Amino acid sequence: MKDMDLADIIGEAVEHVLTYTGGHTRRVYVTPIETPYPHGKLIVSRTDTQGIITQCNPSFVEMSGYGEAELIGQPHCLLRHPDMPAAAFRDLWETVQAGRQWHGYVKNLRKDGGHYWVYATVVPNVRDGRIVGFTSVRREPSREKVALAEAQYQEMRGS
């Protein structure tokens, strides 16, 4: 995954270096700007069994700030925000690989350095008894639930 490009960033940004589960790193720029969730919509994406994005809907593209061609074929951690604790995603992967549904509040990083909060559900796509990929469906969270998740994630990161 390429580092983020400062030319894409809108607003005052702080630089972070993210280290992913596989050990690779990425330089990201983060601004405090939140994009409000589009009322009434679902943000949907699908991945293969490795978490590579294979399909996404127009709301997903719009909220991420990327073009569709920049998203398809990329690992889903392209959207990982440095405020998200690694443990949340470990739990996600353990749950869906075991064939169960995972739910959680997620803060996602946009191409422009801003973010958006979602309530996400990830399900395994089981076909003929085999997991062939995963689907994530996000919906609009309440401000109260986001505030609770924010506090919990801050504690999990130990800061």
Partner 1 sequence: MTINFTVSPSFPNERISDWYIFNTWLQRALSLPIHLELYNSFGAQRAAIADGKVDLIYANPFDASLLVREKGFRAIARPEGPPDEMAVITHADGPAREIRNLQPGTRLACSDDPCVNTVGRILLEPANLDGSNIVEHRRETYIQVARELLRGEADVGFLPVEAFDGFSPLIRRDLRALVTSELHVIRHVFLVGPALAERSEELTALLLSMHESEKGRGILEALGARRWLPVQHEDVEFMIDIISTLNQ
Ligand X SMILES: Cc1cc2nc3c(=O)[nH]c(=O)nc-3n(C[C@H](O)[C@H](O)[C@H](O)COP(=O)(O)O)c2cc1C
CA distance 155 to 159: 6
Amino acid at 95: T
The amino acid present at 20, given as its one-letter code, is Y
**Contact between 60 and partner 1 per CB under 8 A:** no
Stretch that binds partner 1, among 18-26, 39-47, 60-68, 87-95 (CB under 8 A): 39-47
Six token digits for residue 20: 């992913």
Q: Does 154 contact partner 1 by CB under 8 A?
A: no
Q: How far apart are alpha carbons 134 and 101 in whole angstroms? A: 10
Residue 129 exposure: Cα atoms within 13 Å on the Cβ side: 0
Stretch that binds ligand X, among 8-16, 32-40, 75-83, 140-148 (CB under 6 A): 75-83
41 binds partner 1 (CB under 8 A): yes
Whether residue 77 contacts residue 90, with contact meaning beta carbons closer than 8 Å, is answered with no
Q: Name the binder of 40 from ligand X, partner 1, none, CB < 5-8 A by kind.
A: partner 1
Q: Which stretch binds partner 1 (CB under 8 A): 19-27, 78-86, 91-99, 121-129?
A: 121-129
Within a 13 Å sphere around the CA of 143, how many CA atoms are in the beta-carbon half?
A: 2
Binding site for ligand X (CB under 6 A): 20-22, 45, 47, 51, 76-77, 79-80, 84, 86, 89, 92-93, 106, 108, 122, 134-136
